[in-house]
Every structure is written in C-alpha cells, then in structure tokens.
Structure 1
Amino acid sequence: MRNYLLLISFLILAGMVNAQDSVNSGGGTALSSAGFASFSIGQPFFVSQISATGAVYPGIQQGYEISSEDGLDIYPSVSVKAYPNPVTDYLILSFSSFDLYGIKVILTDSKGVFLRLSEIVEAESRIDMASLSAGVYFLKVLKDNRLLKTFKILKK
C-alpha cells in the first residue's frame, strides 16, 4: 500500500513540474537589407534548422533593456561641451548655435542625490564646483524638461 501511495504521489508531482518549459515574454522582427528574422524572447522551439543558406540554433534569449542617457536626437542642432574635466573650481558649460531658452542643468552625486539646479542664460556658463568634495558627479542638461546630455564629471 505504501508503494502505491508513493507511486501516485510521484505521478501527481511529475505532472505538476514543468521543467524545460518557457513562457515567451516578447518578440518581433529584425529587418536589414540582407533579409529578416522573426524572433521571440524565450524558447519557442528546440530543433536546429540547417540549410544551404543559413542555420538557426535553439536557445533561450534573455531580454534586456539598453537605454541611452543622451537625448541629442530630440534637438539635433545641439552642441554642448563641459570642460575642464577633471575640474577643481569651476566647470564651464559651452553651447553653440542653440536657443538657450528653457535650458537647465541638474547636478547630482554618484549616488544620484540632487545637489543643485541651475538655469542657463549664457552660451558659456560657469558652474561652481569649488565647495564640493572630490569625487564623481553627474551633470544633466535639460531643455524644456527633456534630457539633452549627461556628463560624468570628476572633481579633484
């Protein structure tokens, strides 16, 4: 009787285990001038497909996000420079051929803690960094509250 109970328990648990199962969380189509490939995040098949023109091998695709901190494509005429880097006393922020209305800069430390918000009114502006301790800082340049560029600043 004990063996039957053990066998029934095993069969029930075996039906509940879904090892090697994959739930697809996304997908799409990648296009180029050479052709296209449809894909899904997960593992929709397990058999290799090989032909004279190419091959497809199975595997789990791990989805991840790539993001850029620079928003220069929003305002393509923007040219922003920050120098000197590393800085000791003053950081110079230089803009060329751009309307400065609505430009703000946000200074944060390496942990993302807000330190300062400044409005830019001149094409070449000085940002006082003398009172800050040595370390890494991030300067975010915004226009109309949209990110243009992020600078990593080293303070001596």
Structure 2
Amino acid sequence: MKKNILLGVMLCTSPLIYSQATFASSGGNTISDKGSLTFTVGQLVYTSSHNDNGSIAQGVQQAFEFQLLSNSDVSPKNFTLLTYPNPTSDNFVVKLSDTSYNKLEYTLFDIQGKQIKTGGITKRETSIAIQDVSNGVYFLKVTKDKQLLKSPKIIKK
C-alpha cells in the first residue's frame, strides 16, 4: 500500500519537476518601428524557426558568430593592417602596409560592444597598451573619416 501511495505521489508531482526551464541571469526587451524583442540570458534549451524572410533561434546556448561585411568599392584594395603579438598580455602593435593612410583612428570594443579605448594611428607602427583591461576577446575597429577599414580580433590573456 505504501508503495502505491508513493508511486501515485511521484506520478502526480513529476510534471512539476520540469516547470523550471530557465535559470535566467539577465534579460531585457527592445522596441522599434519594425517590431519588438524580448530576451532572457540563461535559457537551457533553444528552438529555431525559419521562413522566407529569415530565421530566429530562441535560447542562448548557441555559439556567437561575428562577420565583417564589406563592399569592395568602398574598401581600399592595397590597404593591409597587421596586429601583433596576438594573443597579448600588455600591449599590441598595429602595423600599416602603407603610410599614405593618415588620420586613422582606432576604437577597441569588448565582446559585448562596449567601447574600451580610442585613439589615433599616426605612424606606420602604433603600440596600443591594454594592460589595464581584463583578459578576454576584443575587437579593434580601424576607421578613416568614420569609414571602417579593418576590424581585427584581439585576444588578451
């Protein structure tokens, strides 16, 4: 008899065990003229939907993918930029292929898009100190007249 009561209680309460599907650490919402979006950081499961206009994945246990889109008519064809050492612990050097590109500016962003540091690139090799920032992945945005030229990834360890 005790086994039957225990089994009945377990069967009745087992759906309640799965009622907590999210351990939310953060979240928010945003509204624009195109629609609205509500999000929660910390979901354990995600689903996705696809149609002709695009796709959406609901949930957060997915990899981040960053892509740099460019237009060959806008980007200079002979401009190359090298950052070294990468990964770094104290500072890194931005080396330009051509010194004719003057009045360049850089902005360093963290993985969340927060602006960390800005400055000018005036020489062929410019050293940027990052010993005061925490370890992680950063993005360096190099611009001329507010036009994006390059955006390399910098790793601080």
> Is the counterpart of residue 78 in structure 1 residue 79 in structure 2?
yes
Aligned length: 97
Partner-residue secondary structure (3-state), 1:88 = coil
Return the structure number with greater relative CO, CA threshold 8 A, min gap 6. Answer: 1
- The CA deviation string for residues 51-109 of structure 1, in whole angstroms up to 9 with x for no partner, is xxxxxxxxx96345xx6345665211201011111111111100012423220000011
Match of 1:144 in 2: 145
Identity among equivalent positions (%) equals: 31
- The runs of 5 or more residues in structure 2 that have no matched partner are 1-49, 55-66
When residues 71 and 105 of structure 1 are mapped into structure 2, their CA distance, relative to the original with a 3 A threshold, is farther
Match of 1:62 in 2: 52
- Normalising by structure 1, report the TM-score: 0.55
Higher Cα Rg, which structure: 1
Please say if residues 68 and 151 of structure 2, whose CA atoms lie closer than 8 Å, have aligned partners that are also in contact: no
- The runs of 5 or more residues in structure 1 that have no matched partner are 1-59
Amino acid in the other structure paired with 2:104:
I
When residues 70 and 105 of structure 1 are mapped into structure 2, their CA distance, relative to the original with a 3 A threshold, is farther
When residues 107 and 99 of structure 1 are mapped into structure 2, their CA distance, relative to the original with a 3 A threshold, is same
Match of 1:57 in 2: none
- The CA deviation string for residues 122-155 of structure 1, in whole angstroms up to 9 with x for no partner, is 0001000111111111100111110011111110
- Cα RMSD (Å) of the superposition? 2.5
Please say if residues 78 and 98 of structure 1, whose CA atoms lie closer than 8 Å, have aligned partners that are also in contact: no
Match of 2:32 in 1: none
Greater strand share, structure number: 2
